[in-house]
Amino acid sequence: MGPRCYIPAVSAALCIASLLCSHGAPGAGTHLMLCQSHTTCGDKFYDPQQHCCYDDAVVPLSRTRKCGNCTFRVCFEQCCPWSFRPQEAFVVKVKGQECSLAPSLGDSICSSVI
């Protein structure tokens, strides 16, 4: 390939990559997608803008679970045991906060479900 052909070939490759990135690679589904950020959860790849890793499973960002009588978003919050008062057995904290810290303004105090 001579110097004249090299520039159009690079331009064509960049154009194809740009098209794939703007429209998504066909059939990418749960496989590694071109031009998007990716993270692993065990041996599975996922897009952190749409999913998170929770209990070694890829789950949607909207996934919720019960925490006593409260609901928490598993990708952003955590359910912490808290038995300072018998009727209040759990507290929902932002993920990454220590469960041992006293409840703060943004935390939800949840009673146990009987």
pTM here is 0.62
Token digits for 66? Answer: 């019960």
Collapsing DSSP to helix, strand or coil, 6 comes out as helix
Quote the pLDDT of residue 34.
Answer: 55
One digit per residue, pLDDT tens: the chain, 114 residues? 555 544 455 455 444 445 444 444 444 454 444 555 568 999 999 999 999 999 999 999 999 999 999 999 999 999 999 876 666 789 999 999 999 998 889 999 998 876
* Residue appearing with tokens 């990559």: 17
C-alpha distances (whole Å) from 6 to each of 15, 89, 100, 101 are 14, 68, 61, 61
Instruction: Give 47's contacts (C-beta < 8 A, 6+ positions apart).
Output: 33, 36, 37, 38, 39
Quote the pLDDT of residue 95.
Answer: 95
Residue at 53: amino acid letter: C
